[in-house]
Structure 1
């Protein structure tokens, strides 16, 4: 759900209590990117009801997975939905076979995550993908979304202006709350402008089943890039954040839990769950209390809060669907600016592979679709092919 960040950046300098840390973790984690998730599911063909079902499924599945792992291992293991994965869906758009094919791709992603835990060689294969290319692909996927606040401000200043202003002001006060507050302002704008058009029947969250369908283009355009982005941008940084606080993640079991959660949740609209990064730091660091052996209870509090927040999925989806102008797209772009910055920094950090990373970034940002396969796949392929060639040329 959240972009990779160091533990020191993600936590406050003072100690707190596990319960308060868990509640803040859930509120910040969900409010910071739920609009991105809804935009991603909608982009690949989900109806408002299916999008609401997907958001509900993600919240419940990650909460249950967190409870299992935290209580079983007495370790503050926090899970999240894949925010970079949702951004990938936005850039991919509709695929051959429609929403049912997207659901089939989510299932394939879940299978791959499970296999990563069971087959070490698969994890090693993912680890061999240069970090700079994975970050460049993600940055290219994010760029069009992060341009939305700019275009929205130009096209609909009355709607988007308050959202951008709230984000800027809160950055001066508390960076952690900048995105949640800007999203609250966006929802207020929607309520003021379109509140009467929202039906009360839309406010009740329900699960909506979709029978999966598999197409080659959906698997290649969605499943493979979604798996790579989730592993490289969420699971690996999540392990690193936990390690920075002295906690060891049970890798095989965690991949099995998140993979099965993704598998079960896919027919109901959930695209992927994974280890968290920033929210992992919030429950594993000093904000979750001085006693390291009791910080796992912060995860229990976070899971309980996620389950409560799940009741609001219908209302949130109805508000997003009723949003005027570009207000919610702008809010999503603001939510992903930090991830874009971190991705660009990681993509360009390796001087030897910089040109290949730039090519990967440009192809991903182009949004091209060739043979029915989206830009993210072609971007990664181009980067992998050109990296050794350009590295030799530099020498």
Structure 2
């Protein structure tokens, strides 16, 4: 009995921590690209159910703790991108295109390798730029709503010191209590039931470039690739192709209902794949399956979760989301700068990518994340050409020196 109970409990904890620590980011992202409260609740429910279905299928099929999660960096990207021409319908179309690209990456192995080959300084700096604005929200919240924000931040700080895994969920509970005490409105009771809202997608160039391509890249580079690395660190080699195809199809099914993307879990994967889930590595798959089932149950509370976000001052919810993403921001900045020295101009390219992405500018209807990648990539190419020209110059100078020496020898 204990052999089953331990991984089941680990899976329940994985689901609770994964849901509570970042659902506010998902709702904030969907709202930012034009979803109304019902569409946002439907989107949250959709990614919960898609996550559950993918985790159950992969865990039972391969008997590995393959944990699935929604794309938290992707949701943060939506917050930084904001509304696009065509509204939420265009965003849903972009979600579908991103999902199709993930499926293609699974079926066409070179594409996945190309994504993994994006220079680490540029990819990490883009992610850091996407996260920065949300991570500044706790500071803004202290100024705008100090009575609500300060208890949230205090609880988060104390639990980060003593019980890190529960810091963000506890901060969210404190925020919910504060909102409930000060701003509850009985008129919103109808939003508490599960909501399913189908949105017919539309397709536009601006949404594809601003949302679909960056969402695909950040989901692959910041979730799927690290997720495989976390699994490998615990001795597992999950099949990449089926994992990508499964999560891509799950994302495609969730998109018309407002879901943005699902993927291999990176951070929460350790909760199900580590020894705390079960001493026997052959039994840990039960934890990921239990986590999937837990996400399905938690998804039924998507209406309540969305109602909380709607009731709260936007800056307070963004503050909770920012607290949840501070660790990710730190990791992205560290990865961007520590990996930069391995490339000529890598540090400068990382800084340029970060600054352009964090600026939040929209040019030609295209969001800052895309332009950050373009700017950082162009900077790397500039330094590569400079390095190549330097090598060529050295060769020419060497040849000239040799010719000169030969002329001297002949005159002698």
**Structure 1 length-normalised TM:** 0.94
Equivalent in the alignment of 2:374: 381
**Cα distance, 1:19 vs structure 2:** 1.0
Stretch deviating more after TM superposition (196-205 or 18-27):
196-205
- Could you tell me whether the CA contact under 8 Å between 1:159 and 1:326 is conserved in 2? no
**Cα distance, 1:128 vs structure 2:** 2.1
- Could you tell me whether the CA contact under 8 Å between 2:123 and 2:373 is conserved in 1? yes
Residues 325 and 222 of structure 1, relative CA distance in 2, 3 Å threshold: closer
- Could you tell me whether the CA contact under 8 Å between 1:360 and 1:380 is conserved in 2? yes
RMSD: 1.2
Equivalent in the alignment of 2:330: 341
Per the alignment, in what secondary structure is the counterpart of residue 247 of structure 1?
coil
**Cα distance, 1:392 vs structure 2:** 5.3
1:215 to 201, 204, 214: 204
Q: Is 2:57 the partner of 1:64?
A: no
Equivalent in the alignment of 1:83: 72
Equivalent in the alignment of 1:356: 349
- Could you tell me whether the CA contact under 8 Å between 2:116 and 2:225 is conserved in 1? no
**Cα distance, 1:326 vs structure 2:** 2.3
Per the alignment, in what secondary structure is the counterpart of residue 263 of structure 2?
strand
Distance between the aligned counterparts of 1:66 and 1:128, measured in 2?
27
Residues 382 and 325 of structure 1, relative CA distance in 2, 3 Å threshold: closer
Stretch deviating more after TM superposition (347-356 or 34-43):
347-356
1:193 to 169, 182, 185: 182
Please list every run of 5 or more consecutive structure 1 residues that lacks an aligned counterpart in the other structure.
1-15
Distance between the aligned counterparts of 2:187 and 2:386, measured in 1?
59
Deviation digits for residues 211-256 of structure 1 (CA, Å, limit 9, x no counterpart): 0000000000000000000000000000001011111111111111
Q: Is 2:161 the partner of 1:176?
A: no
Distance between the aligned counterparts of 2:275 and 2:228, measured in 1?
18
Distance between the aligned counterparts of 1:344 and 1:252, measured in 2?
29
Q: How many residues end up aligned between the 2 structures? A: 380
**Cα distance, 1:325 vs structure 2:** 6.1
Q: Is 2:270 the partner of 1:281?
A: yes
Alignment of 1:258-273 (within 5 A): 258-273=247-262
Residues 198 and 18 of structure 1, relative CA distance in 2, 3 Å threshold: farther
**Cα distance, 1:390 vs structure 2:** 3.1
Runs ≥4 residues deviating over 4 A: 391-395
Stretch deviating more after TM superposition (102-111 or 316-325):
316-325
Q: Is 2:238 the partner of 1:249?
A: yes
Stretch deviating more after TM superposition (153-162 or 48-57):
153-162
Alignment of 1:1-395 (within 5 A): 17-324=6-313, 326-349=315-338, 350-351=340-341, 352=343, 353-391=346-384, 393=386
Distance between the aligned counterparts of 2:99 and 2:314, measured in 1?
35
Per the alignment, in what secondary structure is the counterpart of residue 243 of structure 2?
helix
**Cα distance, 1:324 vs structure 2:** 3.0
Deviation digits for residues 246-298 of structure 1 (CA, Å, limit 9, x no counterpart): 11111111111000001111000000000001211111111111111111111
Per the alignment, in what secondary structure is the counterpart of residue 86 of structure 1?
helix
**Cα distance, 1:391 vs structure 2:** 5.0
- Could you tell me whether the CA contact under 8 Å between 1:163 and 1:327 is conserved in 2? no
